[in-house]
Structure 1
Amino acid sequence: MRIERRLLAGLTTLTVTLGALVTPAAASASPSEPPLGEFLRRALDGLAFEEVLDTAPPTAAAVVTTDKEIATVRRAPATVIAPIAQQPQIDATVLELDAAGRIIGSATVLMSPRYPDGVVVDVDRDLHTTDVRWREWDDEGWYANQGQGTVDIVPGREGASLDFMSPYPASVMKLMVAFGVLRLIDRGTATLDEPYPYRPAEPSTLCGPDADDTLRGYLDRMLTESSNEAACALIKFLWDRSAVDELNQTFQNLGLETLRLLNTRPSNGGRWTNSLTMSSLDTAKLLAIVNGGPGTLWTAPNGHRVTKNELSRASREFFLSMLHQQGWNWMLSTTNYCGREYPAPGIPQKVAPRWIAADGTVTVAGTSFGADVRPCNRAAEVTFAHKPGWVSTSGADAGIVTSLPGERPRHYIISVFSNLGEQYVDANRPADAGPSAYTEKFARLGALIDAYQAHRR
């Protein structure tokens, strides 16, 4: 019966997608289309994420989780690679925006061993929910307790109808760091071109040695090529300015209750553990501030009216410019692999010119993708200002999608967190696939959502 439901969901999703691909730009969604929340749930369910293979199954490898900066998975021999033990954890949000950046629609869907078909989260008009008991990620607990977490992220949610262990955000957490640094710059206590000598007081395998750069340089490297060393420097900078606790309180004041930059080391900016938390909904809302929009974006539970002015115009424009120059286009968008049979095409975005060599190939932080992206850039329909993240048991991507001139209008924020990091692969992944941190199912999800959004407009 489970397989039959999968096939039905997949056919429903495919019908919507094909309709989007062959129908001219429309002013609104067809009456036959499901609402956004149900569409997102069906899309996730139809993609059958539980079919991925585990390169380090629990019976054949030990998971080391004491500290994310040095966490490793002792991978099993290829002969014992097995299907994933249970339904993966996935937390996905889409915020629909009008041309000015107002939030006009939203949907959040959770999947886990508890909710294998996916469940749409009840979110109020202020994009807030009390229906979820958010828990910190725990690798061993995911295996041993069927995805049941034990450490609460938001207090007082014992009576919530949904219980969900939030995947570790990996490098998407760098959005929180950038927000904190830019807030200090807006306050006048720092400038983008201020030199900051990074002098870690203790060694770190994550953070690297001494470094010298400006805040602009660290932010650029952290956001566009996902430099961990730059992120450590900026976290230490926040500690040096006694700004970490204040930043965490700011997230609470803005109603972004699951955003927590906790328990990093003041000495070097390292120690990235499971107490770094982000939900897809709160991450999407943070990006809505960065994107900007008129008036009140939402009202926080404390009554604070949140607007784009939580960051100055200059800081928002700088933040967006960095996200637009993202080099790692390989999860929800896969333009770095242009023309390859694998992975599947994702959000049809344009790659930033800074990464493209004379032969059209993309190299980011020493990783070469080997495909000529120029044909895909010519065919691109949108920009995707985003930040991905990946470790062995975390795959995440969050960003703002905007249609290019002349293309079917769409404007939305997409945010996806999962435990499907580099440890998990597709059965159909070819040996010559090139660098691939994620299952291609995420790219298919990105393409489905983009087609749906294009059709709705």
Structure 2
Amino acid sequence: MSVALAVTAAAVSLPGQAQAASEPLAEKLRRTIDGLRFQEVLDTAPPASPQAKRLPTVDRERQTTADVRRLAATAAPQPISQQPQLDATVIELDGKGRPIRSGTVLMSPLYPKGVTVPVDRNLSTTSVRWRQWDDKGWYANKGQGTIDVVPGRENAPLDHMLAYPASVLKLMVNFGVLRLVDKGEITLDTVYDYRPDPVSPLCGGATSKPVRQYMDESLTWSSNGASCALIKLLHDRGAIDPLNQAFQDLGLRTLQLKNTNPANGGRWSNSVTMSSLDTAKLLTLINGAPGTVWRAPDGTPVTRNVLSAASRRFFLEKLSQQGFNDMLSSVNRCGAAYPAPGIPHKVADRWIGPDGTVTVNGQKFGRDVRPCNAKAEVTFAHKTGWVNNSAADAGIVRSISKNGRRYVVAVFSNLGTQYVDANRPAVEPGTYPYSYTEKFAKLGNLIDAYERRRAS
């Protein structure tokens, strides 16, 4: 059957905004995800396989491009053992960046067809018992976690184990660093001497760079070393606990940067959590919606002033220069038969060589992206992430034309580099391997096509 953004279910009227006279966004999103049949992916490291035993559960971002190639080359991948985990949110914005409607969908072995999440006027929900990701528990407990992320939700009608956020966690890190800038404790030009002790394989050795350079490397090409330095900077300044409390105070209760190592900024584990809804809300603030965007749990108005205008501009500039345009987009592979086209956005000029191909931190993509850039309809300021059992992408989409679509999208899943499509071709020699199932790119394309029609 053909896959299209489909219809039905109640949408949410957001603070100060008129309800759009159309059918509910959440149900459209649910039917789209269900129609893409994510359960048809193949698993290159099923539970009892030798490959599975070698996969790390802490500091997992130390996996390399070679690891992706090794998993992709597995001789006999098996059908996935159960329905995958997905957590997806779309927040539609008006011309000034204010939220108009939202939709959040969860999929898991508990909800194999997907389920829509009730969201209130404050872009919040108390209907989900959020649990930490558990690598072995995903198989043993049929996708149901055991460690609660938000207390007091034991009787919530929905239960979902959050996929590990992978490198999308760097949104939280950089938000925390910009809070220090806004408080005057550091500047973007402050040189930070990163001296890890001990040195970890994830983080690498000592470096000394301006904060703005660490942030650029963290956000545009996902440097783990730069991100470890920023996390250690937050620890050095006693800013980790206040950052986690700030997320709680803002009503972003699943955003938790916990249990990282103050000595080197590493130890990224399952206690680092993010939901698609709270991530999309954070991006809505960074995007700069005017007025009261929502109210915090204590009734306090939450506004874009959680960061200064200068910090928001810097953050957005770096997200718009994302080099790894994978998952919900695939434009770095412009014109390829695989993967399918995703969100039709423009590649940042800084990564494009004289021949039109993209190279990011030495990783070559091998396709001329100039034809896709010429036809690009939107910009996509976003952050991706992957490990073997985590895939993540979250960002802000804006139409290049003046009055077109604007929305925030965030998707988290356990379908990381361990999972492949049956039709996936061999990786071209010398090029960066595609890290996800192409179903995510198809999802991004379908969401964007719907938003284009809605805005026209």
Alignment TM class, shorter chain as reference: over 0.9
SS in 2 for 1:276: coil
Q: Is the 8 A contact 2:90 2:409 kept in 1?
A: yes
- Say which SS state the counterpart of residue 110 (structure 1) adopts: strand
Change (3 A) 1:116 1:209: same
Instruction: Look up the match of 1:272.
Output: 268
Is 1:55 aligned with 2:50?
A: no
> Equivalent residue for 1:456?
454
Question: Shift of residue 14 of structure 1?
Answer: 8.3
User: What are the residue-to-residue correspondences of 1:84-123 with 2, within 5 Å?
Assistant: 84-123=80-119
Q: How does 1:251-262 map to 2 (within 5 A)?
A: 251-262=247-258
Partner of 2:180: 184
Determine if contact 1:220/1:322 at 8 Å carries over to the other structure. Answer: yes
Pairing partner for 2:342 from 346, 362, 365:
346
What is the aligned partner in structure 2 of residue 67 from structure 1?
Answer: 58
Q: Distance in 2 between matches of 1:454 and 1:148?
A: 36
Distance in structure 2 (CA, Å) of the matches to 1:78 and 1:417: 24
Given that residues 330 and 337 in structure 1 are in contact (C-alpha distance below 8 angstroms), is that contact kept between their aligned partners in structure 2? no
User: Is 2:165 aligned against 1:174?
Assistant: no
Q: Which amino acid in structure 1 is aligned with residue 452 of structure 2? A: A
In 1, the alpha carbon distance for the partners of 2:195 and 2:303 equals 36
Residues 139-170 of structure 1: per-residue CA shift (max 9 Å, x gap): 11001111010000000100000010000000
1:388-420 superposed Cα distances (whole Å, 9 cap, x missing partner): 0000100000000000026x7100000000001
> Does 2:396 correspond to 1:400?
yes
Pick closer, same or farther for the CA change 1:96–1:15 going to 2, 3 Å.
closer
Alignment-mate amino acid for residue 27 of structure 2: E
Specify the SS of the correspondent of 1:277: coil
Answer yes or no: is the 8 Å Cα contact 1:60–1:76 preserved in 2: no
2:438 equivalent to 1:443: no
Structure 2 partner of 1:425: 420
What TM-score do you get using the length of structure 1 for normalisation? 0.92
Q: CA deviation at 1:55?
A: 0.5
Corresponding residue for 2:35? 46
Give yes or no for contact 2:20–2:100 (8 Å, CA) kept in 1. Answer: no
* Aligned pairs for 1:385-396 within 5 A: 385-396=381-392
Q: Distance in 2 between matches of 1:339 and 1:80?
A: 28
Matched pairs, number: 435
Distance (whole Å) between structure 2 residues aligned to residue 70 and residue 350 of structure 1: 27
Q: Does residue 235 in structure 1 map to residue 231 in structure 2?
A: yes
* Equivalent residues of 1:122, 1:129 under 8 A apart: yes
The answer to whether the aligner puts 1:37 opposite 2:26 as a matched pair is: yes
Quote the offset at 1:70 in angstroms. 7.0
Change (3 A) 1:409 1:419: same
**SS state at 1:261 partner:** coil
**Alpha-carbon shift at residue 81 of structure 1 (Å):** 1.1
Q: For the Cα contact (< 8 Å) 1:334–1:346, is it kept in 2?
A: yes
Q: CA 1:71–1:133 in 2, change beyond 3 Å: closer, same or farther?
A: farther
Cα deviations by residue, 1:181-220 (Å, 9 ceiling, x for unpaired): 0000000010000000100011200000000100000000
SS at match of 1:309: helix
Q: How far apart are the structure 1 equivalents of 2:366 and 2:375?
A: 19
Inter-partner Cα distance in structure 1 for 2:221 and 2:153: 37
Q: Secondary structure at the match of 2:452?
A: helix
CA distance in 2 between partners of 1:233 and 1:303 (Å): 35
Tell me, in whole angstroms, the C-alpha distance in 1 between the residues paired with 2:388 and 2:187: 36
| 1:238-290 Cα shifts (integer Å, max 9, x gaps) | 00000000000000000000000000000000000000000000000000110
SS in structure 2 opposite 1:341?
coil
2:113 is paired with a residue whose SS is: coil
Which residue of structure 1 lines up, in the alignment, with residue 323 of structure 2? 327
Q: CA deviation at 1:29?
A: 8.3
- The alignment partner of 2:397 has SS state of strand
- Mean CA deviation greater in 178-187 or 66-75: 66-75
Residues 68 and 274, structure 1, Cα contact 8 Å, conserved in 2 = no
- The correspondence for 1:372, drawn from 354, 368, 372, is 368
Aligned Cα RMSD in Å?
A: 1.9
* Counterpart pick for 2:193 among 191, 197, 206: 197
> For residues 12 and 43 of structure 1, what CA distance do their matches in structure 2 show?
6
Take 2:85 and 2:257, find their aligned partners in 1: how far apart are those partners?
A: 21
Cα displacement (A) at 1:78 = 3.3
Does the 8 Å CA contact 1:91/1:418 hold for their aligned counterparts? Answer: yes
Indicate conservation of the 8 Å contact 2:165/2:385, yes or no. yes
Give me the whole-angstrom Cα distance separating, in 1, the residues matched to 2:7 and 2:103.
Answer: 20
- The change in CA–CA distance for 1:15 and 1:334 in structure 2 (over 3 A counts) is farther
TM-score w.r.t. length of structure 2: 0.92
CA distance in 2, matches of 1:267, 1:13: 47
SS at match of 2:133: coil
Q: Distance in 1 between matches of 2:21 and 2:363?
A: 43
What is the aligned partner in structure 1 of residue 308 from structure 2? 312
Q: Distance in 1 between matches of 2:375 and 2:201?
A: 41
Alignment match of 1:412 (pick from 403, 407, 411): 407
SS at match of 2:317: helix
Look up the match of 1:19.
none
The question of whether the paired residues in 1 share the 8 Å contact of 2:59 and 2:266 is answered with no
